[in-house]
């Protein structure tokens, strides 16, 4: 990816609202199970997939599961943590997350967004995909990142497709002062 994903103002607002809601419901950095039947959760998932270029044409099963509105996680998120966030040695926004599960994984994907704490501008983005692994690292792309200022908001959104075809969505949010 040579540029940051193009997200609309509404999509950036969705990410900001999701970030705020997640931090109001759980301690910072604690993983949250996303439920596609929840309107905000569905919007977060769809925005993250759009940013990663994961379209319905490329991932029909994933989108079918989203439209069904259910997950197999029964409210239990996969293990997901923010490992690093802030600014790199050049002052650019950066973040890294790890996701792990032991439920059997066929495919997993991730989007990681770093937003400006004041303006909600997208400062950095990263995406990953993996096959048959219960552990996945995701990090933002330094080459496309913008300078980080006082506060950055981190939002990671992951999905895992199990061997039974069930899809689980997990997210994590945090703030870092630069």
If the chain, 178 residues long, is cut into consecutive pieces of 10 residues, what is the mean pLDDT of each piece?
A: 89 95 89 91 96 95 87 70 94 95 85 96 96 89 94 95 88 94
| Domains recognised in the chain with CATH numbers | 9-177 (2.60.40.10)
Quick count: other Cβ atoms within 10 Å of Cβ 18? 23
CA pair distance 39, 36, nearest whole angstrom: 7
pLDDT of 164 reads 86
How many other CB atoms are found less than 10 A from the CB of residue 30? 15
H or E element in which residue 123 lies: strand 122-131
Q: What is the pLDDT of residue 28?
A: 87
Per-residue H/E/C for 33-73:
EECCCCHHHHHHHHHHHHHHCCCCCCCHHHHHHHHHCCCCC
The DSSP-derived string for 85-103 is EEE-TTSBEEEEEEEE-SS
Contact 144, 4 (CB under 8 A): yes
- Please state, as a whole number, how many other Cβ atoms lie within 10 Å of the Cβ of residue 136: 21
pLDDT of residue 82: 94
| DSSP character at residue 53 | T
pLDDT score at 73: 52
What pTM does this model have?
0.92
């Amino acid at each position: 990816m040579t540029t940051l994903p193009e997200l609309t103002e509404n999509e950036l607002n969705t990410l900001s609202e999701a970030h705020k809601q997640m931090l109001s419901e759980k301690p910072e950095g604690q993983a949250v199970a996303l439920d596609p039947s929840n309107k905000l959760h569905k919007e977060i998932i769809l925005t993250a997939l759009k940013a990663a270029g994961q379209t319905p044409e490329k991932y029909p099963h994933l989108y079918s599961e989203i439209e069904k509105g259910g997950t197999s996680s029964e409210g239990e998120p996969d293990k997901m943590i923010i490992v690093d966030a802030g600014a790199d040695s050049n002052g650019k926004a950066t973040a890294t997350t790890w996701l792990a599960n032991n439920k059997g994984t066929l495919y997993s994907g991730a989007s990681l967004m770093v937003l400006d704490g004041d303006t909600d501008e997208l400062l950095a983005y990263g995406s990953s995909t993996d096959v048959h692994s219960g552990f996945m690292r995701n990090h933002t792309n330094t080459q496309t990142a913008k300078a980080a200022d006082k506060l950055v908001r981190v939002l990671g959104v992951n999905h895992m497709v199990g061997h039974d075809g069930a899809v689980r969505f997990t997210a994590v949010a945090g703030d870092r002062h630069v």
